[in-house]
A and B are shown apart, each in its own frame.
Chain A
Amino acid sequence: MKGRRAWVAIGICTVAVIAIIGLAVQLSGNVVYYRTVTEAVKIRSSEARFRLAGAVVPGTISETSTGVRFEVTDGKKTVTINHRGDPPQLFKPGAPVLCEGAWGAATASGVAAFNSDRIMIKHGEQYTPPKVKVTTTTSLPRG
């Protein structure tokens, strides 16, 4: 009886450790939570869904019939995002965003836009009261 309980305990520990290692491998090797704009344009022919990270380029936001269109940049490359639905509360020019979706078909001008259906705001680790003049409020490079 004592032996069996010990085996149960060891079994549970082993499963737990395998789960941790599995998690580590899965997250480090396979799951990339988001791609930068530069990485994203390299896979423009792909139809896969992924998250695209960049800063909203000021002056490019316009409302569409289904949502909002804007450009995001990582400082090197810039792409157009077609978003279906309402953007989140903190969405504004310069905001660092993650857009979830996939590349659309290439337009007449030859460049595909990214069709997004979910926007998340990726805020940085800096905190400042409103009166202080800040140079960077985002963790992502701006264009």
Chain B
Amino acid sequence: MSEKRQNRDDRSALLPRAVGRVVDALTLISIGALTFFGLWASPADVVQGDAQRIMYLHVPAAWAAYVAFGITTLASLLWLWPRTRSAVWDRVAGASAEIGLIFTGLTLLLGSLWGRPVWGVWWAWDARLVSTAVLFFLYLGYLAIRAVPAEPIVRARRSAITAVIVFIDVPIVHFSVDWWRTLHQKATVFNPELNPEIEGVMALTLWIGVVAFTLLYVSLMNRRYQLAYLEEGLEETALDAAILQRSGGVK
């Protein structure tokens, strides 16, 4: 039994063990650096004061959510294309969407905490905030669809198509600040002119945040994928057991 599990474990990881450990270590180091730079080394903003430091978490969290949903979409397309179809892509899509949902929820929470001291309100019904909330519920719906029991291939196809459809909201979220009038500011870094409106230590801190959250995404993804793989194995074992029991009864 344990030998079989060990076998499954070895094939289950997304990254080679050594690479996974390096990513984990770099994630922790960069999160430490982000905390040091975000809370101490970076200066407070001239307009917003200390409250602006929330940016160093809010922006990277939003970035990580974009990355996660992008990977979900890419993996879903690779599943849909017959030549690259593999259960691996289905697991990647599901794992990445769940992580993306966590980052989207975090982005909304952090945004609210930033909005109260700076805008004066916890929430505003503007295009950026509403489209982000819609994004959260779309991917919640995607995960609900994944949870509907079905044959693996049926479930994977259904999920892949849904993933491609719900991704439409990601560019809407990103460009909402350019397309509509919003209370939310326009992009500081990834603006249409690609000319970051932030410099020096503040810009450095923001970049550390983006790197830290990207590494964190990879680290979480590595683990969440393995979990998906192991739980699929359990489902199969449970099915085998049920069949065995039934055939045993007939015997």
In the assembled complex, 8 residue pairs joining A and B whose CB atoms fall closer than 8 Å, in A order, are A9-B161, A12-B162, A13-B161, A16-B141, A20-B138, A27-B131, A27-B176, A120-B183
- Residues from chain A with a CB closer than 8 A to the CB of B235 are none
Residues of A at the B interface (CB closer than 8 Å) are 2, 5-6, 8-9, 12-13, 16-17, 19-20, 23-24, 27-28, 31-34, 53, 87-91, 98, 118-132, 134, 137, 139
Assembly CA distance A5 to B149 (angstroms)? 9
- Residues from chain A with a CB closer than 8 A to the CB of B162 are 9, 12-13, 16
Stretch touching chain A among B15-23, B197-205, B220-228, B237-245: B197-205
Residues of B at the A interface (CB closer than 8 Å) are 43-48, 52, 55, 117-121, 124-127, 130-131, 134, 138, 141, 144-145, 148, 150-151, 154, 158, 161-162, 165-166, 168-169, 172, 176, 179-183, 185-188, 191, 197-202
Structural contact, B183 and A33, CB atoms closer than 8 A: yes
- Which of A33, A91, A120 is in CB contact (< 8 Å) with B180? A33
Known: A6-B158, A9-B162, A19-B134. A89 touches B182 (CB 8 A): no
- Residues from chain A with a CB closer than 8 A to the CB of B52 are 127
- Residues from chain A with a CB closer than 8 A to the CB of B120 are 87-91, 118-121
Structural contact, B158 and A130, CB atoms closer than 8 A: no
Assembly CA distance A128 to B198 (angstroms)? 7
Structural contact, A9 and B183, CB atoms closer than 8 A: no
- Taking A124-B186, A126-B197 as known contacts, 14 extra A-B pairs with beta carbons closer than 8 A to each other, sorted by chain A number, are A12-B144, A13-B161, A16-B141, A16-B162, A23-B172, A28-B179, A53-B181, A90-B120, A119-B120, A121-B120, A123-B48, A126-B188, A128-B46, A128-B199
